[in-house]
Amino acid sequence: MPAAGSTITLALQAFAGLTLVPAVARAGHWSPEVLRGLDPINLPVAAACGLLLLMLADAFVRAAIGYTRWIRDLTRELDDHSREPGVVTLPGDEPVAFAAPGRGGRIAISSGMLNALSPRERTALLAHERAHLRLRHHHFLVAVTLAGTLNPLLRPLCTAARFALERWADEAAAEQVGDRTVVARAVAKAALAGPSRPTFALAATGGPVPRRVKALLTAQRRRLPVALLAAAVVFGITAWSAGTALDSVTDLHSTIESAQAGHQSN
């Protein structure tokens, strides 16, 4: 929502500048002179907002196309080994393990990664990756990434979101396995064995691994009041942003209607 609010604000500022263009005014049947008198418009600001909006829209389209190409190429790569949902074992000594969307969700894990872990650690690692697929973590990551392209101020949230998603999967795996220490060992050994998968893939080796291991080895403390307060703040800011954008749209619409009335009277 913050990304949508900032995008709507830029679009309104850019459109306000366009309303003074004679060709646009004729198409909309309003008077630029009346509109300028009702609501003074800063043309340099409108032009800057329009240019920035085009740049952000280009970044958004590029990111969306990049994700589409990535998931297409990854699906083809995994299809060479198996088209069935579930675990896809990749040959080779390079330690690799990650969750991949597409075809019902698949977990890719290499022979090198399997050899680097004990049987219980393999179970913990697979539980972690299954949690990513079951909880639809890829949707969260893509949404945050695309929001960051529309609003650069949100880009630091991409790193925080990836860490939060990995911690979420860690806790889900610990609950399923029933041993937080085993999950911590699996995460640490997987991270030491091989690098994390780049781009949009989610893997047990992603995020600040030492912080994740420490959290798993530390007794879990419930902080529900703090979480509720943080959620309330986020929803409050989102509601304020949406309300401001709606007020701006309403004001611009009313101004244009007045300019149309003035044009008809002339």
DSSP state at residue 202: B
Per-residue pLDDT band at 175 (split at 50, 70, 90): very high
Mean pLDDT of the chain: 81
Using DSSP, state whether 87 is helix, strand or coil: strand
DSSP 121-184: HHHHHHHHHHHHHHTTHHHHHHHHHHHHHH-GGGTHHHHHHHHHHHHHHHHHHHHHHS-HHHHH
For residue range 244-261, list pLDDT tens digits in order. 666 666 766 676 666 666
Indicate yes or no: pTM above 0.75: yes
For residue range 41-73, list pLDDT tens digits in order. 677 888 888 899 999 999 999 999 999 999 899
For 86-119, letters b (16+ CB in 10 Å) and e give eebebeeeebbbbbbbeeebbbbbbebbbebbee
- Tell me the C-alpha to C-alpha distance, in Å, between residue 223 and each of 127, 173, 211, 230, 234: 24, 20, 18, 11, 17
